[in-house]
Structure 1
């Protein structure tokens, strides 16, 4: 093939930003969008939009992801923490502490990169589906690692895993700054589990006079991370899987709105924007249709488990929905997701 793909998914953006594009709709964060974001920074007040990265606590939200494991580095076989450099040279007064963290990159406040979700899709046009990701990058060639058939358990370290394409570093290099637009779902629906449809979302936006324009980063406030924070790292499974709103990802009009709005990124304070644990209909071919639509088809990165509550309350009081958002992931080559410490400036 002269191209990586002959067929592209219906309604996708594959090729729209170039045949070798790895950034998707983050390309829409142009200098003009940065200026629009800066124009919304009217007071200079900042909000940290990250949970402490050791939240939610335990492993009930996703048993495959564990809290950070924090430990000291080693110096000469001793713990390199409160370490007197004068131990072997009394002239030296210095004391040093140095540490490490073993971190699940998507345990807490995070970005999903464009290699987080792929699909079995006939990109070659030969009648057989292959594993591909956004813009036709290939599983096993561009996104490499052990196969799903390789045995192991939760303690197994599957070495040699690398996203040669679509890794989170592509996003980090853009700095991820522009105009954020917050949709305050909790204000209208409270904290009961509700599957928010297109019609309901449009009514919220109309009531709050919210407009989303091409290149905006859209944030959904449900108060889920406020609930998590209040549990103080002692969550219970029922609360984690039944508290607060999620988008109804099987509402085709909602997915079409994501396409038509031109949003550059979709962010929520809940676990998956949609409900990854929702029952799968018998005729369904996707477990997570919103992830598929955003990441695989459109090249829209997803932000999850962001702490939006304080910002949302301030915006409510001020009668505003827009602000400057600065939210780069870690510039860590070859990885699928990243912790984030986003900042909203109002």
Structure 2
């Protein structure tokens, strides 16, 4: 027998089998009618804020296979005029997991030891012609829940080598006078916009364990997994543990600066969060415009 990999934690949280072997919603199952009603009660003034990065498309005529960089656009566009009427239309080519596109990761996007949530072999889930299981079909009814912003950058952006701990999360709760409850979406501000192949802070595995204990239904953040990885060879806390093992969709590359400003102005860090992506099935991820309503 080979030596055990010391970098592999042995007590990682998991929801495999919790909602059945055919479940494609994962922790979105925690968003019950009661949770939605609690979220609706957060709406008092009607003020709304987008959590999506703005996207400026570039022309498809220049070629869709440019390197994926932080300067490159996630959307290529070609304008066309069709028929005899004076109407315009366009064709888009979208890179769903681009760091300049706010998007939802579907449950089949990542695996743990070759298996996707809730423990299915990857070959059963993802094929060359589309995602058969654990795709964006799980988002068909949209996501409506209570969002809670934990602003970890209230005193300035987190250092690029910072590892977000449960103590950081609880300190933010205490400072803001709020508490994450089962079914809530956790929104994190680290003050560091995601950059491809650039150092960024990230959450620890202990923070993901904390999210599991609290019953967080959705992760939203301007940061995610650290780059470079905190422990080389170990599972990524969010993409491997939270997404693949816990079945927690990740709302990646969110823009939360305006949200943080509104929360600070109102003195409120909880709100109704709505995320309704296009109803396109069979994808590993999809762009989304999350809206916070106060």
Structure 1 residue matching 2:150: 3-state secondary structure: strand
Match of 2:277 among 320, 324, 329: 329
Match of 2:87 among 62, 72, 96: 96
Alpha-carbon offset, residue 84 of structure 1? 7.5
1:278 aligns with 2:229: yes
Query: Is the CA contact 2:198–2:227 (under 8 Å) kept in the aligned structure 1?
Result: no
Query: Is the CA contact 2:35–2:145 (under 8 Å) kept in the aligned structure 1?
Result: yes
Match of 1:214 among 179, 182, 194: 182
Using the TM superposition, name which of 186-195 and 210-219 deviates more: 186-195
TM-score (norm 2): 0.84
Cα distance in 2, alignment partners of residues 285 and 190 from structure 1:
26
Match of 1:67 among 47, 65, 74: 74
User: How many residue pairs get matched?
Assistant: 273
Distance 1:253 1:84, change over 3 A: closer
Using the TM superposition, name which of 315-324 and 46-55 deviates more: 46-55
Cα distance in 2, alignment partners of residues 195 and 114 from structure 1:
24
Query: Is the CA contact 2:157–2:192 (under 8 Å) kept in the aligned structure 1?
Result: no
Alpha-carbon offset, residue 174 of structure 1? 2.6
Q: Structure 2: which 5+ runs fail to align?
A: 1-10, 58-65
Match of 1:140 among 123, 130, 135: 123
Aligned to 1:256: 209
Structure 2 residue matching 1:296: 3-state secondary structure: helix
Alignment of 1:196-207 (within 5 A): 196-207=164-175
Cα distance in 1, alignment partners of residues 42 and 220 from structure 2:
19
Runs of 4+ residues over 3 Å off in structure 1? none
Cα distance in 1, alignment partners of residues 234 and 142 from structure 2:
35
Query: Is the CA contact 1:168–1:330 (under 8 Å) kept in the aligned structure 2?
Result: no
Cα distance in 1, alignment partners of residues 293 and 159 from structure 2:
29
Structure 2 residue matching 1:181: 3-state secondary structure: strand
Q: Structure 1: which 5+ runs fail to align?
A: 1-8, 74-79, 86-93, 121-130, 146-159, 229-234
Alignment of 1:1-346 (within 5 A): 11-54=13-56, 59-61=68-70, 67-73=74-80, 80=81, 85=84, 94-107=85-98, 108-120=101-113, 131-145=114-128, 160=129, 162-171=130-139, 173-193=140-160, 194-225=162-193, 241-242=198-199, 245-247=201-203, 249=204, 252-270=205-223, 273-278=224-229, 280-281=231-232, 284-286=233-235, 288-346=236-294
